[in-house]
Amino acid sequence: MTQASAKRSVARARKRKSTPSTPKESVINLRVDTKTRDLIDSAAAIAGQNRTEFMLQGARVYAQSALLNQVVFLLSDEDWDNLQSTIANPPPANDALKALMRMKPVWERS
């Protein structure tokens, strides 16, 4: 896809998909080579998004995944044994735990 056709595709996608705009407070600038930009523009057009929407969605998904996968526990041997025992024999769910499990994750709250 040429740069001109990618721009036309993105323009058509913008017309097709009207999303409510919310005020933005921060700016993120990126420098990429033309081939990468064209790849992103082509994928965004197929997804019916503009470049910014497409990149932000991808960045959000990757950021959430990176954060969720970075859990480190530094425990003494005794604490490790206690954790293993609790995992193997969990206490019954109480009302507070049930309420916690019904809550939306922080990144889904607006």
What's the confidence (pLDDT) of residue 16? 53
pLDDT at 63 over 70: yes
pLDDT at 4 over 80: no
What's the confidence (pLDDT) of residue 20? 56
**The pair of three-digit structure tokens given for residue 59, joined into one six-digit string:** 């960045």
The Cα 64–Cα 102 span in angstroms is: 19
pLDDT at 18 over 90: no
- Tell me, yes or no, if the pTM score tops 0.75: no
